[in-house]
Structure 1
Amino acid sequence: MSNPTDIVTDDIAPLAPTAETPAPRTGHFAWIDLRAVPGALRDAVVQSAIHHRIDGIVSDDINLLGDLPPTVRRVLVRSGDADEIIDTASVDIVLSEGGDGAPAVAATVETGVHVVVSDADTLRDACEAVRRTPWTVLTFTDPTKIPLEIVIAAAENSGGHTITVVNDIEDAEIVKLVLEHGSDGLLLSPRSADDVATLAEVITPSTDRMELTELTVTKVEHIGMGERACIDTCSLLEKDEGCLIGSFSTGMFLSCSETHPLPYMPTRPFRWNAGAVHSYVLVPGNRTRYVSELQAGQPILAVRSNGSVREVRIGRVKIERRPLISVTATTDDGRTVNVIAQDDWHVRLLGPGGSVNNVTELTPGDRLLGYAPTESRHVGLPITEFCDER
């Protein structure tokens, strides 16, 4: 393959506003390609796509598209030399194969092209298409995501949309994240109706938030030696971002990342000096895990002081023997919670408004942030049952 970095896109004219230019869109969307879906499976896939509000369905059969409801975009694929579409009431977008230019259709129908990117020349074609055509479907023959990055950069502020063909759900998750923005759309030929549901989850933006509560410190004790864990993540954490950790499943403290200045050592904004190895930590799916169980590559929740949540991946968990300090607090409804951390000034817990509190300087009456669900836990999952944690 020719060197894709040789492509220059600055001289490509942006998509001129026309009646067929799609309205601005936020977030990601998905299209389902029915062309390779067996007939026996097709109805189930279509119904799943409609149920999960998939944005578009792609087919080369205009009769199939004509039966679809108006809640889904109907995308008809045709060869570049096909006759003009007459029944435009059955189609929303006409997609031309081969990238030879947008097909000539009625003004009420949007147009798009499909470009197979396999070398520097076809990459240049894709960059031109995405700035001149409302919809550009991209197939990349090589496993590297560098060509997609270049096309995404070319599409910036152009008004056109990129839709990348993905092989499976794992590929969809990767393509969604390329250059942080990712491809606008994902085109999948599903192997089952379940693939459609999972694809819908991939493109759904995370709106997770934690309902954090204020905790009042009641007791601070130096308890001697024990093992504690540092959690190194694959992400750079914000100054008010932490992980939720505690001795009890019904109460966790917001542990501060090492994003604030430290004496004698640089900051490590990817790390939480989390807590003792017995501690619970909150991970995606409303589950808890013991700190000692965590391993490289696993997901963990990063939580900010305003309650916003994101998933980050663990790069390493480092367990070492250190002096420990026990911090006990109460919730506003009188429940007792606890966390045991390394007994050192540089270990910090977050408080209201993102305040940073060194554990060795905590005193009764100090206010901290935490999470205090009412459910107990069994094998990390919430369950309503009697459980007395002390």
Structure 2
Amino acid sequence: MAREFWLLVKDWKKEVVMDAIEIGFNGIFTPPEYIAQIRELARVKIISADPEADMILGTDVFELHLDEKNAGSTLKTSSSDAPVILYSDDWRVIPMENLLASRSNVIQHVRCYEEAELSLESLERGADGILLETSSVEEIRRVGQLITRGNTERVLFDTAQVTSISQVGVGDRVAVDFCSLLEDGRGVLVGNSSSFLFLVQNENVDNPYCDKRPFRVNAGGAHSYVRMPFDETKYLIELQTGMSVLTVDPNGESRSTLVGRSKMEKRSMLLINAKVGDRLGSILLQNAETIRLTKPGGESVSVTKIEPGDEILVQLDALSFGRHFGKRVKETIREK
């Protein structure tokens, strides 16, 4: 799921709330008297004790104030799925790893960028969201940088050797058009197996056949796995407008990127097989010059130019893990 970025409003300052909404905060925690004013500004989730709020305090979301006496407790509420906002005057007494391990939907109260960044990185996966308390537009904008980075991770690549390329007929291929322009080399992780994914680059390369489309990744067959934020996967056919996909550059720097639309069309397909040691993987991609994989140095290589023996970047997952509904599970699944 996407992380929550909420702003705590104690005193009404229109410019502060507007900045937060424009930057990408998706929730405003407010006293009841400001609800109408917020709703006049934009459509945003409102958290309040008022029954007219989108999330009602004490029913849909809960609060827990931590101190030295209860810092070791586990998080229990009347609803195990409801978000819990954690407050503490001294972060040093909070065993965040224990709290995050005890349940999901943890929203950490923070006062600055540094606290927000630390909260989102605790126990590797981090809190499920933050509640920022500040009246500083500058601090809101700093924390806003984490909204772009908030659903990211550092991807570690392996180098695979191409073993074969063959034409296999016509299939339904999916092109993903993002609501952002992607820089050179950035793409998505796609493959026939969730444990062996290829870095397919966006169409940001000059070619004699069509104009650049740096918002587009011609990603592969409809059945293919694609990496999403938070170590999840989906099938390419499942992607829809408004979803976010993990886009990655050749250095492994990733970010969550908004899907503008997904196009599925029948096209001639190529099957590309590759290996890393004894590990085998494959991908089905459209047979066209504009579709490109990634060499170890970051350079793009068109699928029409790839030859057996060429090296390309892939991301491997442990064979002891499989996927159910996109989430990693501890079991071995063989995919052919």
TM-score (norm 2): 0.61
Q: CA deviation at 1:384?
A: 1.9
The corresponding residue for 2:317 is 373
Residue 178 of structure 2 corresponds to residue 233 of structure 1: yes
The amino acid across from 2:111 in the alignment is D
Structure with higher Rg: it is 1
SS in 2 for 1:292: helix
The corresponding residue for 1:339 is 283
The amino acid across from 1:370 in the alignment is V
Which residue, 136, 143, 162 being the options, matches 2:137?
162
The corresponding residue for 2:203 is 258
The corresponding residue for 1:55 is 111
The separation in 1 between residues aligned to 2:202 and 2:324, in whole angstroms, is 28
TM alignment of 1:188-337, pairs within 5 A = 208-332=153-277, 334-337=278-281
The corresponding residue for 1:386 is 332
Q: CA deviation at 1:206?
A: 6.1
The separation in 2 between residues aligned to 1:43 and 1:269, in whole angstroms, is 44
The amino acid across from 1:378 in the alignment is H
Structure 2: gaps spanning 5 or more residues: 1-14, 16-24, 34-47, 50-56, 68-85, 92-107, 116-133
The separation in 2 between residues aligned to 1:316 and 1:348, in whole angstroms, is 20
Instruction: Report if aligned partners of 1:32, 1:54 keep a CA contact under 8 Å in 2.
Output: no
Q: CA deviation at 1:353?
A: 1.9
Instruction: Report if aligned partners of 1:231, 1:274 keep a CA contact under 8 Å in 2.
Output: yes
The separation in 2 between residues aligned to 1:237 and 1:250, in whole angstroms, is 25
The corresponding residue for 2:64 is 44
Structure 1: gaps spanning 5 or more residues: 5-27, 57-70, 72-135, 138-160, 165-175, 177-181, 187-200
The separation in 2 between residues aligned to 1:308 and 1:296, in whole angstroms, is 23
Q: CA deviation at 1:264?
A: 2.8
TM-score (norm 1): 0.53
The separation in 2 between residues aligned to 1:357 and 1:249, in whole angstroms, is 22
CA distance 1:35–1:347, change in 2 (3 Å): closer
SS in 1 for 2:297: helix
CA distance 1:237–1:202, change in 2 (3 Å): closer
SS in 2 for 1:214: strand
CA distance 1:204–1:245, change in 2 (3 Å): closer
Instruction: Report if aligned partners of 1:239, 1:259 keep a CA contact under 8 Å in 2.
Output: yes
Instruction: Report if aligned partners of 1:252, 1:372 keep a CA contact under 8 Å in 2.
Output: yes
The separation in 1 between residues aligned to 2:178 and 2:148, in whole angstroms, is 24
CA distance 1:256–1:204, change in 2 (3 Å): closer
The corresponding residue for 2:303 is 359
Number of positions where the alignment pairs a residue of Structure 1 with one of Structure 2: 230
CA distance 1:328–1:53, change in 2 (3 Å): same
